[in-house]
Amino acid sequence: MSDDKLPIRTENFPEWYNQVILRTEMADYAPVRGCMVVRPYGWALWENIQQALDRRFKATGHVNAAFPLFIPMSFLEKEKEHVEGFSPELAIVTIGGGQKLEEPLVVRPTSETIIGYMYSKWIQSHRDLPVLINQWGNVVRWELRTRLFLRTLEFYWQEGHTAHATAKEAEEETLRMLDTYADFAINDAAVPVVPGRKSNAEKFAGAVRSYTIEAMMGDTKALQAGTSHFLGQNFAKAFDIKFSDWNNELQYVWTTSWGLSTRFVGAIIMTHGDDQGLVLPPKLAPIQVVIVPIYKSDEDKSRVMPVVEAITKELVDFRVKVDAREEVTPGFKFNDWEMRGVPLRIEIGPKDVDKGTVVFARRDMLGRAGKSFVSMDQLAAQVAEMLKTIQASLFDRALAFRQANTFDPQNYDDLMQITEKGWALSWWCGDAACEAKVKEDTKASTRCIPLEQPGGAGKCIVCGKPATEKVFFAKAY
């Protein structure tokens, strides 16, 4: 860890973000431009995200599979809107084994096409439906502007792909998975998100409707944190995915796709982090509790360490790290673990041993306000309660921040000013021209049309025409 102080978030948020990731050893830059190496601490956080999501997927009847990394170019060309949407970002292989390939292969940017091809082989009858498959893997999109975790050429994610007998079932699945993402974001990541529908201009290439969970970052920019798409029969028709229905008539299936990626690691960093570094939600933190023994002499050490060992055994149900380094001071250790965002620090010295107490230091409340003396009796229960308190505190703080930085503009000039400092929730007529004007004038885009609407009607913030829905306008990552 560098001894230099981190940049101040309010002064240079992008540099603060990069430095936090590098100094806490979450990730590093790869030798290939725009790629990253996810280091063990960052990967441990991603594994916890994976487990939290995978548990939810399986509880809703989904199973995991694996599909190829290489996709024939002709597959992408079958769905016109899909290939147009992804063509600027494709990495294409033209030589393999020293020979020019008969057909170029695309390194997958997403898997709708190859999975659609396989579903056309596997699905014959209504008895084969629904198909509920998810895969964990990596994808490649040739991005021009990259940033660690948020936007890299190669990233890791899960992508769910389902096939259904009716449009109603497919739409229900699309919204069920959006709810799954929102539940994970709110309850495990402590990130308050707004579930909503994307505008036609912002939807996934090839989808009928796209849904999203949008989160406000610490600089008030929006982040698309997970998406779920109702694909209608677009890919079914492109890949001839048919089934014989209950009347023995051939029908096209209805499909969905949905994904959440390592971009969510960036969401956690930017939602909860502070000028001291990472602040990680206890449910996902790679290390939930760090124990720092404090002693100055061998005699003190001989009294403190057996207690540390006993406490470590008692806390077996938590992800615990004992920092027994002797080459650095306790103060250095405190700063180090604060920067790494460990939710709870337990300090134990000779006086604590004498009193039968330990010191709890909360990462979400630095300094004296976050410290308390706790009896060693029933310590596991007290740790569990404190982690629960920290988890709730992080969510409440992030929600209060979003609410404080969300505004209701009264006119277009007001909208332009608001998008410089936060989110605007405004009436919108749905006209793409109004949407494009806001983007051109402010660089803010429609983030989502919230599923939860105020009801009633108003006037479009751009053109003044009647409007029945409110939309979030904001600058985004």
- Model confidence band, residue 453 (pLDDT cutoffs 50, 70, 90): very high
Fold of 406-474: Translation Initiation Factor IF3 (3.30.110)
User: What value does the mean pLDDT take over residues 14-25?
Assistant: 98
Over 70: is that where the pLDDT of 267 sits? yes
What is the pLDDT, as a whole number, of residue 407?
Answer: 98
Q: Which amino acid is at 295?
A: Y
What is the pLDDT, as a whole number, of residue 399?
Answer: 98
- Model confidence band, residue 219 (pLDDT cutoffs 50, 70, 90): very high
Fold of 13-272: BirA Bifunctional Protein; domain 2 (3.30.930)
Residues 6+ apart with CB under 8 A from 283: 48, 52, 187, 188, 189, 190, 391
Query: Distance (Å, rounded) from C-alpha 107 to C-alpha 68?
Result: 9
What is the pLDDT, as a whole number, of residue 42?
Answer: 98
User: What value does the mean pLDDT take over residues 381-410?
Assistant: 98
Q: Which CATH superfamily is domain 289-385 in?
A: Anticodon-binding domain (3.40.50.800)
Over 70: is that where the pLDDT of 76 sits? yes
What is the pLDDT, as a whole number, of residue 81?
Answer: 77
Over 70: is that where the pLDDT of 436 sits? yes
Domain boundaries, the chain: 13-272, 289-385, 406-474
Residues 6+ apart with CB under 8 A from 429: 460, 462, 463, 465, 466, 467
What is the pLDDT, as a whole number, of residue 3?
Answer: 57
- Model confidence band, residue 88 (pLDDT cutoffs 50, 70, 90): confident
CB 259, CB 110: distance < 8 Å: yes
DSSP 8-state assignment for residue 126: G
pTM here is 0.95
Residues 6+ apart with CB under 8 A from 87: none
